[in-house]
């Protein structure tokens, strides 16, 4: 018979720590409610107008201020540019501020019972916002019914229950909606790449017909079994991932599934049609160093790995950009080298809070461009007078009273219509690592 000795260790239970945690949670909840109310008040203070000024020179795709697009039926219309100032003040993206305002206005005007529960700190803001978003396609009558359902047993609300109660209101008020939703679901089929935290792996998100998804799952399973039969030692999920990757090579997939190969298929490289943009310092190409390159939209990758990717590819090397170049051209649209320089200098939209990739942005003339025939001065299109702005913030600058200047240190000073002044710091140069010489290991 054995005995187990138990050593009693004193536990210090300081209830003040628990009290502090509880107080912090209450403060955060109160701040969330205050922010939601402020967003609604800001929206109501900026009603939409019907004035749409004409686009300026070289901005054929731009138009004046319209109406904020994501509010629902029965909610007051808000000026499109209103969320931009809120976003800048909060350091948020335009989309995040716009969604906050839309949720606040929809709750206060379409779901008054749920809104009151939020203001009284009975229902958390995040859960009420989920209800507002799920109910955005409902009519006022259906939204009112959803509001009654949600307020009926508000203590039992959770994300799943919110979705089900809103869906119940939707189906009750529109019995044909189920068929419409089927069509909408089929119209939302897609296959999209999404980056992960590491450049060597990428998520592929598929939304397929259910029959196609089941058939694809079966084919991937067969491929994983075939790889195992050929001696692949990896776990099942890794073999399934590799089998899915082999679908990019129809012949390799056919050989694998029909037994036409007696050895493991080679690991695939980059597709022959892919364009890969690398940023490599000269010393990173030294075979004696552990070189690292930055791949656009992927991140840092070892040069050795890129060498394997591009083993069977044609590589074109472009000259390195000189970021100090300041040449000017006498036309509205900048040449390719100038756009590349500005995008490399400012990798994101330079409006406060915006994080849109500069490669997807417009290049804005900080001092508006005036054609030479209309008295404009030469040299207006130059790197120092260009900055990347996403389409929304480009329109706000052109038509919404958002003004900015570029300072000598590369920062941007913005003055918003409300008079709020914000500064966007200059983009810092990427730090270079301390180089360590690669050492060879002696054989044991």
- Does residue 293 sit in helix, strand or coil? strand
Give the pLDDT band of residue 397 (cuts 50, 70, 90): very high
- Residue partners of 112: CB distance under 8 A and separation at least 6: 147
Taking the CA atoms of the chain, what radius of gyration do you get in angstroms?
A: 29
Q: Is residue 205 part of a domain?
A: yes
Q: In this predicted model, which residue has the larger pLDDT, 292 or 332?
A: 332
* Dihedral sign computed on CA atoms, order 329, 334, 340, 342: positive
Could you tell me if 243 and 343 lie in one domain? Answer: no
Q: Is residue 35 part of a domain?
A: yes
Could you tell me if 202 and 289 lie in one domain? Answer: no
pTM: 0.69
Q: Is the pLDDT of residue 175 over 80?
A: no
Could you tell me if 40 and 125 lie in one domain? Answer: yes
Q: Is residue 30 part of a domain?
A: yes
Give the pLDDT band of residue 331 (cuts 50, 70, 90): very high
Q: Which contacts of 129-134 are long-range, i.e. CB under 8 A and separated by 24 or more positions? A: 129/36, 129/100, 129/103, 130/159, 130/162, 130/163, 131/107, 131/162, 131/166, 132/102, 132/103, 132/106, 132/107, 133/99, 133/103, 134/162, 134/163, 134/166, 134/167
- Domain extent, residue 344, equals 336-424
Q: Is residue 18 part of a domain?
A: no
Q: Is residue 271 part of a domain?
A: no
Structure tokens at 95: 């989309």
Could you tell me if 149 and 70 lie in one domain? Answer: yes
Could you tell me if 151 and 213 lie in one domain? Answer: no
pLDDT at 285: 61
Could you tell me if 31 and 132 lie in one domain? Answer: yes
Q: Is the pLDDT of residue 2 over 50?
A: no
Number of domains observed in the structure of the chain: 4
- Which letter does DSSP use for residue 360 in this model? G
- Which residue in 329, 351, 354, 330 sits closest to 341, CA to CA? 329
d(CA 136, CA 130): 10
Q: Is residue 170 part of a domain?
A: yes
pLDDT at 427: 86
Give the pLDDT band of residue 314 (cuts 50, 70, 90): low
Could you tell me if 251 and 350 lie in one domain? Answer: no
d(CA 205, CA 188): 12
The predicted-structure confidence for 41-88, as pLDDT tens digits, reads as follows 999 999 987 654 444 444 444 567 788 877 888 899 999 899 999 999
pLDDT at 213: 86
Q: In the chain, pLDDT over 70 holds for what percent of residues?
A: 77
Q: What is the mean pLDDT of the chain?
A: 83
Q: Is residue 48 part of a domain?
A: yes
End-to-end CA distance of the chain: 50
Q: What's the average model confidence in pLDDT over 302-309?
A: 70
């Amino acid at each position: 018979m054995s005995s187990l000795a138990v050593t009693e260790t004193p536990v210090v239970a300081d209830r003040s720590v628990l009290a502090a945690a509880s107080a912090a949670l209450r403060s955060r909840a109160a701040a969330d409610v205050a922010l939601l109310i402020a967003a609604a008040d800001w929206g109501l203070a900026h009603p939409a107008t019907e004035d749409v000024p004409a686009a300026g020179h070289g901005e054929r795709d731009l138009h004046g201020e319209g109406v904020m697009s994501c509010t629902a039926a029965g909610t007051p219309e808000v000026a499109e540019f209103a969320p931009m100032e809120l976003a800048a003040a909060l350091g948020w993206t335009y989309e995040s501020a716009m969604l906050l305002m839309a949720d606040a206005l929809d709750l206060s005007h379409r779901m008054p019972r749920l809104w009151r529960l939020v203001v009284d700190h009975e229902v958390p803001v995040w859960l009420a916002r989920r209800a507002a978003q799920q109910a955005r396609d409902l009519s006022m009558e259906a939204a009112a019914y959803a509001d009654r359902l949600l307020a009926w047993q508000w203590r039992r609300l959770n994300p799943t229950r919110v979705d089900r109660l809103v869906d119940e209101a939707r189906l009750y008020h529109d019995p044909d909606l189920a068929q419409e939703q089927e069509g909408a679901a089929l119209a939302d089929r897609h296959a999209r790449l999404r980056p992960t935290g590491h450049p060597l792996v990428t998520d592929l998100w598929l939304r397929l017909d259910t029959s196609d998804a089941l058939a694809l799952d079966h084919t991937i399973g067969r491929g994983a079994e075939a790889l195992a039969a050929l001696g692949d030692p990896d776990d099942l999920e890794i073999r399934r991932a590799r089998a899915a990757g082999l679908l990019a090579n129809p012949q390799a997939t056919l050989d694998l599934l029909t037994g036409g190969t007696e050895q493991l298929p080679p690991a695939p490289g980059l597709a022959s049609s892919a364009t890969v943009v690398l940023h490599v310092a000269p010393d990173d190409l030294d075979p004696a160093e552990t070189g690292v390159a930055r791949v656009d939209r992927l991140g840092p990758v070892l040069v050795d790995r890129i060498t394997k990717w591009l083993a069977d590819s044609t590589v074109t090397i472009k000259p390195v950009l000189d970021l100090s170049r300041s040449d000017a051209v006498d036309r509205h649209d900048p040449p390719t080298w100038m756009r590349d320089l500005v995008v490399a200098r400012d990798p994101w939209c330079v409006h406060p809070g915006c994080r849109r990739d500069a490669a997807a942005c417009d290049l804005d003339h900080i001092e508006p461009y005036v054609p030479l025939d209309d008295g404009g001065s030469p040299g207006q299109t130059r790197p120092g007078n260009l900055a990347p702005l996403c389409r929304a913030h480009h329109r706000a600058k052109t038509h919404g009273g958002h003004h900015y200047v570029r300072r000598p240190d590369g920062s941007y000073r913005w003055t918003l219509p409300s008079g709020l002044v914000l500064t966007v710091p200059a983009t810092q140069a990427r730090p270079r690592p301390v180089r360590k010489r690669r050492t060879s290991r002696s054989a044991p």
